[in-house]
Amino acid sequence: MLAKWDGTDTSFMDWYRNTVEPAKANFLPPMEEMFSFQKDKDGYHLELPVSDEQKRLIFGIRPCDAKALAILDMTFKDAYEDPYYLPKRNNAVLIGLGCLKPYDSCFCTSLSVSPAESNDVDLMLTDIGTQFLVEKITQAGKELITTASGVEEATEADKTRAKEVKEASYNKVTRKIETKDIKEKLLPAFENQDYWEKVAAKCISCGICTFLCPTCYCFDINDELVKGEGARFRNWDSCAFPIYTKMPMENPREEKWQRVRQKVYHKYEFYPMLFDIIACTGCGRCIRLCPVNWDITQTLDRLPARV
Ligand code: SF4
Ligand code: SF4
């Protein structure tokens, strides 16, 4: 899990694998106040929360999750610049830590992610035994490392060791999917209700796969009102929930198979159409943490061919 770090105890690095909760929760919290309001005889008065521009340093983020943040940025900067997400995100420094023990559920290498390399962080660390090899990726990373103590120039032997470690991590990711032409393969499968019903059969619509997906960003907005004063909140929502798309006239995804299909298409068809990138980084959380072992890699692997 993500936890506050005092910067001294490094013992967690010996057992630490990727977190359950993705780093998105720092920038798009599960619940966030958008503004508060009071009502008096003159009407409603709104008050915006103090903009959260606190500097954040996220240490140990994995390359898949750093890429997921870069994907989320596209959404929150697109037609509308989100005033809640962006100030937090713009004030964050990411220190990546290479994954030496990927899970069985990880398939990041199929999504152009390498478990121990990243250009989506400010500094990238590789554990080479008794030391870490530090790579400066951005200007913010360069500035940070110049203020750090205990840093020394890497030797050729250190660099060789880091290369070996990175290659070994890459080879530990054995789960693969074929993403070439995935958009084209998905298109003809869209109307295949039989297939999506089979795929969705065991899903219990709990929403875990979307809440914990580092690239999912659906939210709902609610007002809490008690005796003339209250607040408006934005909270995580999930396309897995039956009422997620409920509208006055209809619910276009009333059936579970339609919702499961939506989750897959949003990541592998619609997001690439909008932003030219697949909105999945192969972090494997939706496989590892699903209570009924639903598996997106099997769903994509077994897509029916065009009839
Ligand atoms: S975590 Fe599993 S059971 Fe829950 S909504 Fe996702 S696929 Fe369905
Ligand atoms: S869809 Fe699954 S594997 Fe892909 S980023 Fe989301 S949780 Fe990770």
In this predicted model, what pLDDT tens digit does every residue of 107-165 receive, in sequence order?
999 999 999 999 999 999 999 998 999 999 999 999 999 988 889 999 999 999 999 99
Provide mean pLDDT across the span 29-44: 93
User: What spacing in Å lies between the alpha carbon of 84 and ligand 2's midpoint?
Assistant: 24
Is residue 101 classed as helix, strand or coil in its secondary structure? coil
Round to whole Å and give the CA distance between 166 and 126: 8
Q: Which has the closest alpha carbon to 201: 269, 260, 281?
A: 260
- pLDDT tens, residue by residue, 156-189: 999 999 999 999 999 999 999 999 999 999 999 9
The pLDDT score that the predictor gives to residue 149 is 87
Using most ligand atoms within 8 A of CB, pick from 205, 241, 257 the residue to mutate for ligand 1: 205
The answer to whether 108 and 64 are in contact (CB under 8 A) is yes
Task: Name the residue with the closest Cα to ligand 1, atom 6.
Answer: 209
150 burial via Cβ count (<10 Å: 0-12, 13-18, 19+): exposed
- CB of 243 sitting under 6 A from ligand 1: no
pLDDT band at 248 (very low <50, low <70, confident <90, very high): confident
Residue 10 has pLDDT above 80, yes or no: no
Q: What's this model's pTM, rounded to 2 decimal places?
A: 0.93
**Between residues 232 and 249, the one the model is more confident about:** 232
Round to whole Å and give the CA distance between 172 and 192: 35
Nearest ligand to residue 215 Cα: 2
- Percent of the chain residues past pLDDT 90, beyond the cut: 82
Angle at 78 between CA 89 and CA 67, to 5 degrees: 50
Round to whole Å and give the CA distance between 19 and 39: 42
Give the chain's mean pLDDT: 93
For residue 37, give the H/E element and its range: strand 31-40
Residue 6 has pLDDT above 80, yes or no: no
Torsion over CA: 25, 26, 30, 34 (sign): negative
- CB of 201 sitting under 6 A from ligand 1: no
Residue 54 has pLDDT above 70, yes or no: yes
Residue 53 has pLDDT above 80, yes or no: no
Residues with CB under 6 A from ligand 2: 213-215, 267, 280-286, 296
Provide mean pLDDT across the span 15-24: 90
Angle at 250 between CA 248 and CA 256, to 5 degrees: 130
- CB of 207 sitting under 6 A from ligand 1: yes
- CB of 268 sitting under 6 A from ligand 1: no
Residue type, 306: R
- CB of 216 sitting under 6 A from ligand 1: no
239 CB-side CA count, 13 A: 18
pLDDT band at 306 (very low <50, low <70, confident <90, very high): low
Round to whole Å and give the CA distance between 102 and 17: 7
Residue 242 has pLDDT above 70, yes or no: yes
DSSP letter (8 states) at residue 78: S
Residue 307 has pLDDT above 60, yes or no: no
Radius of gyration (C-alpha) of the chain in whole angstroms = 22
Cβ-based neighbour number of residue 38 at 10 Å:
12
Cβ-based neighbour number of residue 281 at 10 Å:
31
The b-or-e profile of 201-239 (16+ CB within 10 A means b, else e) is eebeebbbbbbbbbbbbbeeeeeeeeeeebbbbbebbbb
DSSP secondary structure letters along 206-251: --HHHHT-TT---EEEEEEEETTEEEEEEEE--TTSTTTT--SS--
The pLDDT score that the predictor gives to residue 1 is 61
